[in-house]
Homo-oligomer: A and B are copies of this chain.
Amino acid sequence: MRTMTVIGTGLIGTSVALAVSRRGVRVFLADRDPAAARTAAALGAGLARAPGETVDLAVIAVPPSQVGAVLAEAQERGLARSYTDVASVKAGPEQAVLRGAPEPARYIGGHPLAGRERSGPLAARAELFRDRNWVLTPSRLASDDAFERALELVALCDAVPIVMRSRDHDAAVAVTSHVPHLMASLVAARLREGPAGLSRVAGQGLRDATRIAGGDSRLWGDILEANAPAVAGVLKDLHTDLSRLVPALDALARPGGADRDLGMRALVDLLDRGISGLAEIPGPPDCESYGMRVAVAERPGELARLLAAVADLGVTAEDAAVETAVAGAGFTVRFAVPARAADKLADALGAGGWDVEWDPARPSARNGRLDDVVGPSGSM
């Protein structure tokens, strides 16, 4: 790929332009707000002008409802040989292209799974897509040429191509992105009507849980409308879940009530289903890990010395847990180590006098979270 036009120089469009410019592609930038295109150019993302010739690929980085019209207009003036978009809803834009674009075969839908809560070109980063999934949704008419060009774009952005049907994509993001956004908005909106002193008991957990609610409301209104059928379906399921949860809490609020046990069972069942649902979320890239066991003598500070030795090597052993603790005979500590640091760590701990053993039954801590053996039952 030699030349590219990016239409819409917001966060995603400008990040794409920065990434491919670095790889030597000549990028032209357009936005209905000329200041946005000029800002992207001043960031080094490309040239804020129309290309003098037909480019190899046009990346349409506008809200989902505008993809069809922007693409049709671009094809009418012969802007590019191939086209893709980056909207986070795929079925609607695909239908719009099949229905209204002069050359639907030249288009492949795309959705890079990357973003930030901030918007606009100044938030853009060339590395935004590195190791992230980038879904491509070829329609029944899509040409091999267009598909190859889209794959080349994904490669230039160091992302991982994933091919899905547009409807399957939309059903999945309703559950993983659109409904979680709305639930975060509902929770955050309740903070406005909360009791006095509320902000003094609001911490990092709440900040993380509601961060996605910070996205631009007009853009998100457009996204949610474009995927409204799938989103409405999941919202109804959640509404039903909540209709069951409220009576469970009501039962627990009546001390000594006959339905207290039922309420607690329903509550713990939901919490457990939530925990098991978390296993569906893959870890961050590069997080494959191995289970390791280390024997530790029972002396004050000895466990701390082991954890410090691990930390000194720059390794994060988040899932550390005491597996066995025989009085007088010390502890066996089990933890998960990132795969690429495993050998280095084993060598260093061995040299430090520790007895290290790999856990063959648990090649990855991500596929079976290590549980604490001590702790939760007897303590807080």
Nearest opposing residue in chain B for A86, CB measure: B380
Tell whether A356 is near chain B: CB-to-CB under 8 Å.
no
Interface size range of chain A in the complex? 35 or more
**Chain B contacts for A236, CB-based, 8 A:** 246
Chain B's closest residue to A241 (CB) is B186
Decide: A31 and B179 in contact? CB cutoff 8 A.
no
Please name 25 pairs of A and B residues whose Cβ atoms are closer than 8 Å in the assembled complex, sorted by A: A8-B380, A11-B379, A31-B379, A35-B322, A35-B325, A35-B373, A39-B303, A42-B299, A63-B380, A118-B318, A120-B321, A133-B201, A172-B201, A175-B195, A176-B206, A177-B203, A185-B270, A185-B274, A190-B237, A199-B281, A205-B211, A206-B281, A207-B281, A208-B208, A239-B242
**Chain A 111-143 near chain B by CB (<8 Å), digits 1 or 0:** 101110011111100000000110100000000
Q: Could you tell me the dominant secondary structure of chain A's interface residues? A: helix
Q: Which of A119, A190, A243 gathers most chain B CB within 10 Å? A: A190
- Interface residue? A192 (CB, 8 A): yes
Which residues of chain B have C-beta atoms less than 8 A from A63's C-beta?
Answer: 380
Q: Mark A347-374, 1 if CB is under 8 A from B, else 0.
A: 0000000000000000000000000111
Whether the pair A180, B209 counts as a contact (CB closer than 8 A) is: yes
Q: Does the CB pair A374–B191 fall under 8 Å?
A: no
Contacting chain B: which of A76-84, A102-110, A216-224, A337-345? A216-224
Measured CB to CB, the closest approach of chain B to A177, in angstroms, equals 7
